[in-house]
Structure 1
Amino acid sequence: MARVLIVDDAKFMRMTLTNILQKGNHTVVGEAENGRKAVELYRELKPDIVTMDITMPEMTGIEAVKQIKAIDPQAKIIMCSAMGQQKLVVEAIEAGAKDFIVKPFDENRVLEAIHRVFEK
């Protein structure tokens, strides 16, 4: 069972992910609506996994990945992208993200990604 920090600027997306993760018996330890808050909460909560939206106000998901990896090189981050953001996903993986899931979220795909990243 993973402790997960959900980062997305859309409340609806955070709620959707929370529901999926709770069904999969994971615990949502926090939510952030932008990259800056994500970095703060990562420091504070030390989650097992972060689901990170790519496009957000104040600080992008890619910037947040770089900052979180600087704090904790072992951080496990899964990017959440909309269709057509492949270039950004590649950038995020290069910055240290471990996997990605595409919106709209498929429940099985989300839980598989969490499981795969958590087990590594």
Structure 2
Amino acid sequence: MAKVMIVDDAAFMRAMLKGIITEMGFEVVAEAGNGQEAVKNFQQYHPDLVTMDITMPDMDGVAAVRSIMQINDKAKIIMCSAMGQQKMVLDAIQAGAKDFIVKPFDRVRVSESILKVLSK
């Protein structure tokens, strides 16, 4: 069973994703509200997959992806972005993110992205 960490500064977004991920049969092992927490939790929990919000306080998602990729260059990270953040999504993909999903979350798209990234 894949272990997933959800990173988003909005608790209701984390809850939404957690619902989708647990319904898929995966375990949410950690959550984080900003990039610094994400990096710390990644080191502690070693999740198989990370969903990463782009815009967060303290450390944004792109910086967090860079930090996580330095810890483990095989990390599987899916970016979560609102519309109009294409430049930051591209930065995140270049930093090592494997895919992105757009908010508001579409259950089918989230599931497809998770399965695709985990299978690589």
**TM over 0.5, shorter chain:** yes
* Aligned residue number for residue 52 of structure 2: 52
The number of residue pairs the alignment matches comes to: 120
Query: Equivalents in 1 of 2:87, 2:67: separation in Å?
Result: 20
Aligned to 1:97: 97
Partner of 1:13: 13
Partners of 1:115 and 1:95 in 2: CA distance: 21
SS of the residue 1:51 aligns to: strand
Q: What amino acid is the match of 2:33?
A: E
Q: What residue is the counterpart of 2:80 in the other structure?
A: 80
Taking the aligned partners of 2:62 and 2:88, their CA distance within structure 1 comes to 8
Q: What's the TM-score, normalizing by structure 1?
A: 0.99
Moved >6 Å (runs of 4+)? none
TM-score (norm 2): 0.99
Residue aligned with 1:41, SS? helix
Secondary structure of the corresponding residue to residue 74 of structure 1: coil
- Distance in 2 of aligned mates of 1:39 and 1:88: 19
> Helix, strand or coil: the match of 1:58?
coil
How far off its partner does 1:30 sit?
A: 0.5
* Root-mean-square deviation (Å): 0.5
Name the % identity.
Answer: 59
